[in-house]
A and B are shown apart, each in its own frame.
Chain A
């Protein structure tokens, strides 16, 4: 998948001598329309956009993303709506990669094959499934690959060395490194130096893989990790959506400002 949009985005960032910026928002937060507007607006600054398909029993998400997910579900988002958000977004900005992220039960109920073919039709570039680890994800990952969709493997500080090797070998264009033992949105409890060291261990396996770091990344911490190929910000964005709704302010403008600031920090 050398020429995937995801791989290209990393190359483009590298040319500018900076990490790629990845954002995470929840589809349907707080409405279908709003989440599409947010996505369109932040994609001006973000290199890759992760879009969550919300589940009401998330076992690895912290408070901020849970709040966004519950809000989206309450407002009626369905899987097919998630695909339509992607389709509309891709019409607007066809070269910006979109990665869908969520929990396996949603895919299982939709039917794996149907889910993947719908992803392909909607021009989804990658998929992250939080609770489908290696090696259980082998079949699903190879189905993705056949359809030219990146399956993104996760690696965490608890991943053993032998396991890490196998995961890297089986990965596609991008690998997601979880910075610390935490759910999403936790306070960064490990020093950036230590995180970069662990990150380097993955890079040493295969330099050509694009490794991004996520969990605990905010305006305050992003700069300290800029050596990475890419950095993911999710909870900080979801938190801003919650804050803006509470204050009856424009979510699109506020969230875009945050993403713009994040981008400036790593430029």
Chain B
């Protein structure tokens, strides 16, 4: 399985939408064929449309607040010794996480398609919060599907969604988390696709949704590339880009400009949710060798049983608590361009404690998984190695969990 150079990864699929012949595709009910085709055609045109690109860039800059800063974590680096640890503080983006990029682009597409309603799924609540923000900004009616368990554990984001005028639809089926929210959202779209646009909150789902989301978050790595050149005069010789992976939208966005580089120069490390130390359950299909399966309209590595029933997952981080993963990450894994590992709940909590102790940074539980890996490998690496962590979310939404687990927030 080989990657092509000079072609964005999101476009390296065949005519049926498969990356590397087997990941992705569009496993959708007949009813969704037409709306998915319409969306595919529209997106193809829009991404070539200069006016649309100008509009996107305008909102990225003036609404989202791009570029987000790129900072050295001096104290943490000194404390650990070894590699330099840097962070791309994507949580500075309007709303507090990278999900705003995808949400903004979807709202713009929805407008361009003349639809007035937009629906989306959410796990940690960020995708939902951002979609509700973008909907409000662009005058769209918004519905957010969210697992009942997630509604309980991510209350601050739910409050934000309601404040933005979105309707939160609680999902009680299955494990009452992100997987069920996505299913319910897709079912809603099946019934309302004539006047409603659907936003999938990550680089998952039928092919076109992977592409739109990846195209949106890629802004992160465009900024980083400029920032690296400014900081170091040229792209340094030894870089490791560390990112948490749930669906994989922030990781793809963080990496997309650097995929063509040799992995000896720029290593890509994805960190999945390993779940509680003592539990058999996790949300790490890539690093714990799940089999390929079809979930939410795409083929990817999926946590499932022998029969093909999707398995329950467990993670302290609602944003990573998903049994599948983006087909483009499966492609990056099998082509050996990226390396995937996992961090347990406990490791993520410890990383959160350490980062907040040494730095003025408040990463949510999702990027805390990435920090856990950085903290683990930094001491073993040389001082000229640049470890960059995508701090893609802010911990405000996790205050209840952190208070419970660490006794303070």
- Chain A interface residues toward B at CB < 8 A: 55-62, 66, 70, 73, 78-79, 103-110, 130-134, 136, 154-160, 163, 178, 181-183, 186
B297 contacts partner chain A, Cβ-Cβ < 8 Å? yes
When the two chains form their complex, are residues B29 and A55 in contact, meaning their CB atoms are under 8 A apart?
A: no
**Tally of contacts, chain A with chain B, CB under 8 A:** 112
Any chain A CB within 8 A of the CB of B114? no
CB-CB nearest in chain A for B192: A181
Q: Given A109-B306, A109-B307, A136-B27, are A159 and B194 also a contact pair (CB < 8 Å)?
A: no
The listed residue (A60, A66, A106) touching B29 by CB distance below 8 A is: A60
- Residues on B with C-beta less than 8 A from A155 are 30
- Give the residue name and chain of the A residue nearest to B187 (CB): A183
Neighbouring A residues of B35 by C-beta, 8 Å: 158
* B294 and A105 form a contact (CB under 8 A): yes
Contacts of B190 in A (CB 8 A): 59-60, 181-183
Quote the shortest CB–CB distance from A4 to chain B (angstroms): 22
Q: Given the complex of chains A and B, what is the CA–CA distance between A73 and B311 in angstroms?
A: 12
CB of A25 to closest CB in B, whole Å: 19
Per the bound structure, the CA–CA distance linking A78 and B193 in Å amounts to: 33
Instruction: Bits for B304-329, please: 1 = Cβ < 8 Å to A, else 0.
Output: 10111110000000000000000000
Taking a contact as CB atoms closer than 8 A, the residue among A136, A163, A183 that contacts B26 in the complex is A136
Evaluate whether A154 and B192 lie within 8 angstroms (CB atoms) in the complex, with A62-B187, A73-B309, A105-B295 already known.
no
- For this complex, 16 residue pairs linking A to B, each with C-beta atoms less than 8 Å apart, are A55-B309, A57-B179, A57-B309, A59-B190, A59-B297, A61-B187, A106-B307, A108-B294, A108-B299, A109-B308, A130-B29, A131-B28, A131-B297, A136-B25, A157-B31, A159-B33
**Binary contact readout B177-203 vs A (1 if CB under 8 angstroms, 0 otherwise):** 001000100110011111000000000
A109 near B31: Cβ-Cβ < 8 Å: no
Give the shortest distance, in Å, between B172 (CB) and chain A (any CB): 10
Contact assessment for B193 and A79 in the assembled complex, using a CB-CB cutoff below 8 Å: no
Q: Evaluate contact between B173 and A66: CB separation under 8 angstroms.
A: yes
Contact A131 B25 (CB under 8 A): no
Within 8 A of A (CB), among B354-386: none
What is the minimal beta-carbon distance from A174 to any residue of chain B, in angstroms?
15
- B193 contacts A70, C-beta separation under 8 Å: no
Q: Which residues of B contact A157 (CB under 8 A)?
A: 31
* Cβ 8 A contact of A109, one of B26, B34, B179, B293: B293
> Chain B, interface size: which category?
35 or more
CA distance A160 to B34 in the complex (A): 7
With A73-B309, A105-B308, A109-B291 as given contacts, are A178 and B16 in contact (CB-CB < 8 Å)? no
Indicate with 1 or 0, residue by residue over B10-36, a CB within 8 angstroms of chain A CB atoms. Answer: 000000100000000111111111110
A158 and B34 form a contact (CB under 8 A): yes
Distance, CA A17 to CA B281, complexed state (A): 56
Query: Which residue of A106, A159, A160, A181 contacts B193 across the interface (Cβ within 8 Å)?
Result: A181
By beta carbon, the residue of chain B nearest A182 is B191
Closest Cβ–Cβ distance, residue B330 to chain A (whole Å): 15
CA separation between A62 and B184, bound complex, in Å?
9
**Cβ of B174 under 8 Å from chain A:** yes
CB within 8 Å for A59 and B187 given contacts A131-B297, A158-B35:
yes
Choose among A56, A107, A133, A182 the residue with the greatest number of B CB atoms under 10 Å from its CB: A56
Q: Using A59-B187, A133-B26 as known contacts, list a sample of 19 further A-B pairs with CB atoms less than 8 Å apart, ordered by residue number in A.
A: A55-B308, A59-B28, A59-B29, A59-B183, A70-B174, A105-B295, A105-B308, A108-B299, A109-B306, A131-B27, A131-B294, A133-B28, A158-B31, A158-B33, A159-B30, A163-B33, A178-B30, A181-B193, A183-B190
Judge whether B29 and A56 touch: CB under 8 Å: no
Contact B27 A104 (CB under 8 A): yes
CB 8 Å contact bits of B259-285 with A (1 = contact, 0 = none): 000000000000000000000000000
**Which chain B residues lie closer than 8 Å to A110 at the CB level?**
307-308
Residues of chain B lying within 8 A (CB to CB) of residue A178: 30-31
Bound-state Cα–Cα, A107 to B293, Å: 10
> Is B27 a contact partner of A181 (Cβ separation < 8 A)?
no
Contact flag A133-B29 (CB < 8 Å), given A57-B174, A59-B190, A109-B306: yes
Closest Cβ of chain A: how far from B205's Cβ, in Å? 10
Instruction: Name the CB-closest residue of A to B18.
Output: A136
With both beta carbons as reference points, the residue of chain A lying nearest to B38 in the complex is identified as A158
Mark contacts of B23-56 with chain A using CB atoms, 8 A cut-off: 1 yes-contact digit, 0 otherwise: 0011111111111000000000000000000000
Give chain B residues whose Cβ lies under 8 Å from the Cβ of A160.
34
Q: How far is the CB of A118 from chain B (nearest CB, A)?
A: 14
- B115 part of interface (Cβ distance < 8 Å): no
With most chain A CB atoms within 10 A of its CB, the pick from B26, B35, B190, B306 is: B190
CA distance A79 to B309 in the complex (A): 11
Tell me if A78 and B307 are in contact (CB < 8 A): yes
